[in-house]
Structure 1
């Protein structure tokens, strides 16, 4: 073994340029694959980008209108709150399309935590009464964009109210699911469609961002205990939203994974070719090693140690 190491060390010192080239080539391939993997993962799962840029909340808790949701900020492990926001569940209609929506009363300035990312149009404006910002999956379901008009049924059948779409925004929360989960629409706190909703359809929601996301389940238990189980109507967390987003892009991820595997195989062939070329340049040295008593297995180990 000592002779093997001594020969490998002497060979590397003698052919420093070739050794440095292989090291740089291998390092370049590895870095390229890591960067490609990160970029492809980012492209296949845009939810992570939205969550990071919006400082998404790890837990969203829906409560009754009377719950002290703001008091959750005093719990250990809570980094920040988004809200609480007053909510009202209703139905939006646009151009023959219809979707369940949770109207959420938000201020004119976007929050720092759970911050909706505007993709088109603009955010709420006190000077634009009757404005609404739609979450992107809800906007697609309604075929609606900035400038379109939506209708909301009035309380107790008192006609309809009209809302104008001011913008469309991405959110890290679970997307709109017909018949399963309502979409999200942000309106100003004084919007009549929100304040005039029936009492049995109103509530509030608060987003909780944690210091340690791995403690999500424990944090949910403490939050429910602090609020009271009777005050909490629904809880959703970031694991669910991420799983739903990944299921939507599973085919894209599979395709990118196949191309990534092809790139990995190509890199392996390139490295193998470079090593084979270098070994062929050492045929005379290999013959000498065999002549002085090295077995084929020892010769192979020499080059494995080097590379």
Structure 2
């Protein structure tokens, strides 16, 4: 239980923390592998006036290398029945010194063929050898490549003359672009620059903007820093989902492990008595009791970090437009997750450990039961209740803290489920032509996948917690249930009573998850919210009741079938 809980929590937290700066790390690696530019300038048109404005930048003292100008056309591309806007750039057979796209499949441009940017190819579902139609002309795909000269798919359109819809990027052999030029398509000239000081792009822009574009209206400038910021937008929704989810998982871990620690309190008390009897100091006893939990917590933290390391490549590069290399958790991430794992283990076991240390040696060795307080008026009222409800309320009254933990367990789980329903109810504008849903909105899709993963992890832990709480309660209440059996209670009533002890806190906990899930979704929504049907939210919350009844039935039934004579003999 402790391993599963802390592993899930530390894995989610590690992934959430790894997203910060992950895009920049991948972009830097891609820029190094493809000789990416520090500065890109676009000028509308392809005539001498447009190109002369760009070529004037080649001779600036800050520039150490350049490529271009290249012509890029704004057209449409159709593949597998899907049509999308596309930026079609004319490319030479041998790329220049700045921006040398890395071919990941096939070969570089050749006459009569097209090379597609990898993120765009993944979205279209095309491969080398397939045919696509660019501006009405069918061309075979000869290669798939990545570049750092453009922002990731679907934001290839960076020139002032391009359409407003999302676009992919392709490269054509330069002579093949003559057909596009004759089709009266919008065209932009682009030049790529490598600066002596890559960090001084803003100073370079301020120095040369007026000379290149006096009216500051036609030429469009893009720095590599801007590309990093734009690329990171793809992970904007994923990081808060993973971080908030990790904290919810930590809470469920605390609730579950606290139940286990409380269930072991009786054995722990006797163990403390034995250690005291042989002369162990309080410090040694505390170290012995905490060591097993802290050791498991460290193991769970290592498993969580390993799981995050394996999942990270697929998470940090959802578009596949950058070179994917797993960077692994940083030292800060490892320190934070380790501290949290140890804190979860320590917080949940510290209370039972202190209570055991404070117990007198003789009392600890005797391990006698505590005499409950009897109140006559409560006894008269409880006599009117059905036996299962009476037994369930008695179990809750004896352990109110556990009932509160179970209610919070339901609240945390339903919060994630309601937030997922809210997120799925929001309309997603696709990347297809005109905003159609023919191409998936990767940013929204990534956020929904992360929310689904977090919700699934929370549901799994909630299931484990519910079963654990029921079983622990049944073990602790064996004498009470045995006495109830001697007074006429049936095994079915005992089973129902144990289930009722979990069902009663489930209802308020599940209902509290509705507003909390709505608030969680509203906190991260950018604009108007589309609301799912109210009946769906309440039906989802109320479904926690039959789910809890089913989960508690098996451990409760097993505990109820224990022999009464065996139980009372053991207690005697």
Instruction: State the TM-score, normalized to the length of structure 2.
Output: 0.35
Matched, 1:130 2:109: no
2:89 alignment partner in structure 1 = 104
Matched, 1:175 2:152: yes
Query: 2:209, 2:56 → 1: CA distance?
Result: 12
1:295 alignment partner in structure 2 = none
Matched, 1:239 2:225: yes
TM-superposed deviation, 1:239: 1.2
From the CA coordinates, give the structure whose radius of gyration is larger.
Answer: 2
Query: 2:172, 2:142 → 1: CA distance?
Result: 10
Q: Map 1:31-70 onto structure 2 (within 5 A).
A: 45-64=25-44, 65-66=46-47, 67=50, 68=52, 69-70=54-55
Q: Which has the higher contact order (CA 8 A, sep 6+)?
A: 1
Flag the structure with higher helix content: 2
1:118 alignment partner in structure 2 = 103
Q: Does structure 2 conserve the Cα–Cα contact (< 8 Å) formed by 1:99 and 1:138?
A: no
Matched, 1:139 2:115: no
Query: 2:188, 2:337 → 1: CA distance?
Result: 57
Q: Deviation digits for residues 41-76 of structure 1, max 9, x if unmatched?
A: 779842221011112111211113232122211012
Q: Does structure 1 conserve the Cα–Cα contact (< 8 Å) formed by 2:65 and 2:97?
A: no
Flag the structure with higher strand content: 1
SS of residue in 2 equivalent to 1:194:
helix
Q: CA RMSD in A?
A: 3.2
Q: Which of 259, 264, 267 in structure 1 is aligned with 2:335?
A: 264
1:195 alignment partner in structure 2 = 181
TM-superposed deviation, 1:259: 7.7
Query: 1:132, 1:74 → 2: CA distance?
Result: 32
TM-superposed deviation, 1:241: 1.4
2:203 alignment partner in structure 1 = 218
2:447 alignment partner in structure 1 = none
TM-superposed deviation, 1:183: 2.2
Q: Deviation digits for residues 8-30 of structure 1, max 9, x if unmatched?
A: xxxxxxxxxxxxxxxxxxxxxxx
Query: 2:28, 2:55 → 1: CA distance?
Result: 27
Q: Deviation digits for residues 205-248 of structure 1, max 9, x if unmatched?
A: 11112111222122223343232245734322211211233343
TM-superposed deviation, 1:161: 1.0
Matched, 1:77 2:53: no
Query: 1:102, 1:115 → 2: CA distance?
Result: 17
The answer for unaligned runs of 5 or more in structure 2 is: 1-16, 156-163, 244-307, 310-327, 340-572
**1:141 to 1:73, Cα distance in 2 relative to 1, 3 A:** same
**1:112 to 1:258, Cα distance in 2 relative to 1, 3 A:** closer
Number of paired residues? 222
TM-superposed deviation, 1:197: 3.3
Q: Does structure 2 conserve the Cα–Cα contact (< 8 Å) formed by 1:97 and 1:141?
A: no
SS of residue in 2 equivalent to 1:139:
helix
**1:265 to 1:240, Cα distance in 2 relative to 1, 3 A:** closer
The answer for unaligned runs of 5 or more in structure 1 is: 1-36, 154-159, 269-307
SS of residue in 1 equivalent to 2:183:
coil
